[in-house]
Amino acid sequence: MKCYKKSFGKLPSGEKVHIFHLENDNGVVLELIEYGAIIHRLIVPDRSGACEDVVMGQDSLEKYINNPSCSAAVVGRCANRIADATFSINGQRYTLEQNNGTNNLHSGSGNYASKLFSGIINEEERDKVSVTLYFKDTGQGGFPGNVENWVTYSLDNEGTVEIYYKSVPDTDTVINLTNHAYFNLSGHKSGSIKDHLLQINSEYYLPNGKMALPTGEVHRVAGTDMDFNEFRLIGEGLNSGETQIVKHGGYDHNYCLCGRGYRKVAEVRDPKSGRGMEVYTDMPGMQLYTANADWKNLPGKDGALYHKYGGLCLETQFFPNAVNASHFPSPIFRAGEVFESVTAFKFYTY
């Protein structure tokens, strides 16, 4: 197995940015950059052994800075939406930036996706290589206090990419980290994911109101095109008349995942390439997003032009706006309390 780093350029401030190359013995390559803790490339063999990069992104640091769409970055301090860009803890009201209508989305200017992490290669373990990226959040965007964050990516010989998150706040605050990778198992520049098969272990989802903000209701998936308990084509739902799907131009919904603790929660298969991906997490929710934005020839890596439905995100998380919804699992962590979470993507062929 291989693990090394090299230069990936400099920020306008002059700060150096490195890229880490992790490679297992079976052709899987994971490349990470310190800017945004972004998965730059994730190269996976298909059923015939041909390798393709299965995450969308950009070619250079400058392009990631100027065109952040589709980056597989770490999102924090609070991923997803906070209603009216405000919340209260201990009777103290905090006001954030409004960047999604009147809501706050992905922490606004405080989003970790545009922050410089500092990375180190960890001592090699048996059948696994890993890199830890560190960033100290000092409260940009209106969040209270400081949070120290460590994100460890690892790759093993079985084709599993694991993301371990650890955060420690010095003030009571909300913490909700995820990775915003856009996956296309046919290859990042292959077009639509409508022919991908998807399965999600979930009996309930959160219906959305305006700007894809959950209404606070919890609905059953049974009998609707929100149901992925059995494998089905993503395109069936995207082409359906389901109100929630039509309203948002596709899927942009939180699924309430079955079970607790670290468990398998979803699986994706691409009949064309024979690639499959299992998703594991210990988080209570997962946002399914099918790249509903009206992309028209959006420039991407390797000369690719990205279009609507060109990838899908499976963002493990606390529920959106959970800081304002007492009936949702709480994302509030007290000063000194450790937030830890693990999400993994296991690749295979069939």
Q: Round to whole Å and give the CA distance between 194 and 1.
A: 34
Using alpha carbons only, give the angle 270, 252, 57 rounded to the nearest 5 degrees.
60
Q: What is the mean pLDDT of residues 32-44?
A: 98
Looking at domain 2-349, its CATH architecture is: Distorted Sandwich (2.70)
For residue 147, give the amino acid letter.
V
Catalytic residue selected from 31, 34, 278, 315: 315
- In degrees, to the nearest 5, what angle opens at C-alpha 180 toward C-alphas 263 and 260? 20
Burial class (CB in 10 A: 0-12, 13-18, 19+), 296: exposed
Tell if the pTM clears 0.95, that is, is over it: yes
Catalytic option among 40, 180, 196, 253: 180
Q: What is the pLDDT of residue 67?
A: 86
Type of residue numbered 268:
V
Contact 36/115 with Cβ under 8 angstroms?
Answer: yes
Q: Does residue 97 carry a catalytic annotation?
A: no
315 catalytic? Reply is yes
- Residues 117-160 pLDDT 10s: 999 999 988 889 999 999 999 999 999 999 999 999 999 999 99
Report the pLDDT value the prediction gives residue 147, as an integer from 0 to 100. 98
Name residue, tokens 């609507």.
308
Q: Indicate left, alpha or beta for 284 from its phi (over 0: left) and psi (-120 to 50: alpha).
A: alpha
Q: pLDDT (tens digit, 9 = 90+) per residue, 277-321?
A: 999 999 999 999 999 999 999 999 999 999 999 999 999 999 999
Beta bridge partners of 252: 289
